[in-house]
Structure 1
Amino acid sequence: MEKYNELATDIIKHVGGSGNIKDVRHCITRLRFHLKDENKADTEFLKQREGIVTVVQSGGQYQVVIGNHVPDVYEEVVKVGQLKDDTEEEDITEGSLINRFIDLMSGIFQPFLGPMSAAGMIKGLVAILAVAGVSETDGLYIILNAAGDAFFQFLPIMIAVTTAKKFKMNVFTALALAGAMLYPTLLDVTTGDALYTLFSGTVFESPIYTTFLGLPVILGMGYYQTVIPVILAVWLASKFEHFFKARLHANVKSFLTPFMVLLLAVPLSILIIGPIATWGSNLVGAAFQGLNQFSPILFGMALGGLWQILVMFGLHWGLVPLGIIELTNTGTSSIFSIVNGVSFAQMGALIAMVLKMKDSKKRALGIPAIISAFFGVTEPSIYGFTLPAKLPFYLSCVGGAIQGLYLGLFGVLTYAMGGLGIFSIPAYIDPSGVNSSHVWHYVISIIIATIVGFILTYLFYKDKGGAVEETTEASATDTVVNNQLKSQNKNVVINQEIVASPLTGETLPLAEVPDSVFSSLAMGDGMAIIPKVGEIFSPVNGTVTTIFPTGHAIGITSENGAEILVHIGMDTVQLEGKGFEKFVSDGDTVVAGEKLISFDIEYIKERGYSTITPVIVTNTDQYTDIVKTDVKEISSGDFLLDTVK
């Protein structure tokens, strides 16, 4: 922002110039420089400079304390100093590949879970219309079907937007890439005669309908409704974009960067990523076909248990054509018979999660996801709830495996592809009327899947969310605070803001905090707490104005205008989010007692960081006094401090 241009220029100049900066990052209040030589920095000038709170030299970092608007100053510092933006790529959770994959998928799907759930519910409504006899050519059916199905048909477009944000690339370039992968002409090419066939007679058999500069183009089943191909494509494109943005001249990078990205990423995605997905699907199809021939029971258990995972990676396309071939040649299918009921295991797991949830906001979002799953649309449930929690997703796979084993044991078949969810039942009805056992076995399998998913999740899943108790006039926390104020004979004035303790632990005066920015009250007055439980709850009713990506600090503006900063530990930004979990985002409205952040106390201590957590009223200057509790041991929700106008 231009209003910070002069401040940014002075900061760059007085830390020794751009050439003295190894790198710069920012946390919720500070610019954190790694300087080549700290002796070149004019610390006294910076401390006295208007717009800078103070300077701290700690842990090999040269920290310039700015305040809550530090992100804007950071952007200008990077711009003025022509520095590398170290926030350009979002950190991906480290650890096992499974954890990193789950973190990535959760981050990609979370932003559009609401609309996805709504679309799934509309698809269920359309299925009801079809059962009620509404023709597919009726305008009511056509329009509502478009409203419900379009989201899933063009899911790669939605994924491109959130994946671009995850990998910090231009969203519109990512949309252009996804649009190219869904371009109708790609599939139209496959309607004619193949030029030749690659790897004929193997699971990698690929008919070639066209070439790209002489290279064969393997188009497979296309990319509609797929997940993994577009994620990989956007990831690849983000690497190209970051490369060219760093090297092209400012006068041409705005159009040459996306030009080069699309010129490279689109062909590579279609020529490489597409064939990998296609061949992976073919391998999966061949493996399950062989297993079915060996043992239908093992086939049912394996396919039922792995189906959700196969769908996530787009590998199920190797089985769908085999199911269609079964139906065409014999009028029945063992493949479709197994996979239809898996969604009910997912639904059962989600019902158990919702019943155990303490967070009312999550419960409210979980209900439409349950409805979607009932109609066979499980994406909102998987990506919004069970997969991020891990265990419920695994348990739903167990439910899918057991219902698959049951169906394989009795040799249950479908007579049509049928609908999704509850509307898949008619597909098991023998059109000749001779064999009614298939449909009854399938209904039993639905019950099995739902019950197993529900019971296992209810027994073994533990909700980590904090309770959110909302009242019409005041939160339960306010009631506790008021009672404590009365017991302490404190007068409550109308304009004051009562601030509850955001965590449980031992109180500490700010003067004893081992960081001069807090102990000097430079950021404002307040209290510090040595936490005993690694959970932060909202101290007031208000709005989240800032929550740092690493989750180590959060700023809230209360309904009465108090600006409150909760900073977990000292220098914990260095942990880069490890050991922290966020439950709210910037702009969220919160109520007192709502869980905001959880953190691993032992993890922080083991890495040598203090867990002392200051709770600061950053606009202290707008109050005549800050009245603090005098108790030593405090629990979340207890009275902590009181701002007096």
Structure 2
Amino acid sequence: MGKYDLLAKDIIKKVGGKDNILSLVHCVTRLRFQLKDESLADDEALKQTEGIITVMRSSGQYQVVIGNHVPQVFADVCRIANISSEKEGGQKKMSFREKSLDLISGIMMPAIGILCACGMLKGLNSILSYLGLYSNEDGIYILLNAIGDSIFYFFPVVIGYNTAKKIEMNPFLGLIIGAALCYPTINGVDVPLFGHVINATYTSTLLPVILIVAIAKPLEKFFNRVIPDMVKTFITPMLVLLISVPLGYVVIGPLANMLSNGISQAVLSVYKISPIAAGFLVGGFWQVMIVFGVHIVLVVLCITNIISGTPDPILAFTTFVTFTTTGMVLAMWLKTKDKSLKQIALPAWISGFFGVTEPAIYGILLPRMKHFVISCLCGAVAGAATAALGLKYHTMAGMGLFEIPALLDPAQPGVSLVRAVIAAGISLVIGFVVSFITFKDEEPSQTKGEEIVSEKCKKEVIASPLSGKVKPLSQINDSAFSNETLGKGIAVTPSEGKVTAPFNGTVMMLFPTKHAIGFMSDQGCEVIIHIGMDTVRLDGKYFEAHVKEGDKVKKGDLLITFDIDAIEKEGYSLDTPVIVTNTNDYMDIIAMMESGSTVHCGDDLITIL
């Protein structure tokens, strides 16, 4: 039994059950799900679960923010849901931007932890050597340096494996493609091929192996289709390697290296124009990038520079932003008289010293937007100070205090260590002082809260949005509904293809696939209508929406029409749950129709008390 079994079970249940999970990876602090149907995930219940900081829908992923123990939670979720490191069950439709970020995350994230571990070993080696405990000619220095350098030198092997796994081809083919590119006798030497002499280096590169594996994917698919089953297990990989590696070595690799160098030089040229201005901008926007889940882009640019031997200044600008955030929350913790804030702030500023700022951002700063903006401005100052001190990333490392080894210049580790400590001190003090001056406890507003509770406790009737046969949720073939994970309610098997408004209220959510719609009544009741089971896979086919998000509707207004016959011919059940998602705000949810009864649009269906 894992340490986080209960939390893992809760997460699986509240994202809609294991059958709703298409894929799962994790980064440093987040579980990153692709869900079959995001409408089945209960955001509020997850946010209120102990051990979860917040949830986000970003970059085509459903992100559950856990904190620095995410690897253990990830392992328990995978074990309980009976998936390995990545469950494969299809892909949901995403925009080009979402696909790009998802691809980058899937390729890079599994390697980030080991990259940081090796980088910290290199930093530790430099410090111990600088302190005179041994010289750079001693065996221990050479061994530690080899361990630290290994992942950077053989990075194509790691990325080849990850890329192949992400694009759903044989991962060991990707691994061997990466290994072939790192083979010593073809790197940095003249190799005569096809009447030309090729001199290329692929060790410590990133983009070439990704593009070569991408070319290998359709080759593998083609050969698996045409080669007999009895020999395809070894003939297919042989032919894929025979074609993709020479093509990659001669054509794709050199072009990819040119592109990588071009991107790197473009980013560095911006830095050269004004390092302090660049530090100010990157430091200021870093937390915003974290909130939107796109900070991986800067991480990839940094890795590209480091493995090519170029110290990276861009990610260095973000190093001490965590210290400004930590200083701010520390000041709030000392100054506040709010017991609940004190309880949240204490672990938030402690974890902040180790680079995990999500508890501070989501639990404290974002709910107080003024202070989040102030923290971004303080982060900008921290980035500018880092630039002014000339600090750069020389390797990957951990987070927070453990990130400092990444900033140690092997040529002068002592000087860069002092500068890093100065930058950390400046950042921490600025955050603390500004927060101490600007923060004050909010005035309680009990009367308003009492009015809301009183309003929600009034009796309200929900009319049937469909005509058809009534059935209890327990008979629905989906555990997220049948177990009432999303809330209490009732289901209707429709006899005609239209959905009408169950009360006077506002359309709060309309899924792009038009298979699900959510409302809030004028009295505060929140209802979601989910047309059919797994109909999200139809991607909007056979559905037509007659309203949009934000529209005010009256009871009986036409909301959605759908083609019953066509959907059933596609093999989908049309059982349609009508769920009160804020069930916990009410004393009781009472179904007014018996199972098997016929109901018409507008008939009383549910009473809430």
Structure 2 length-normalised TM: 0.43
Structure 1 length-normalised TM: 0.41
The structure, 1 or 2, with the larger RCO (C-alpha pairs under 8 Å, 6+ apart) is 2
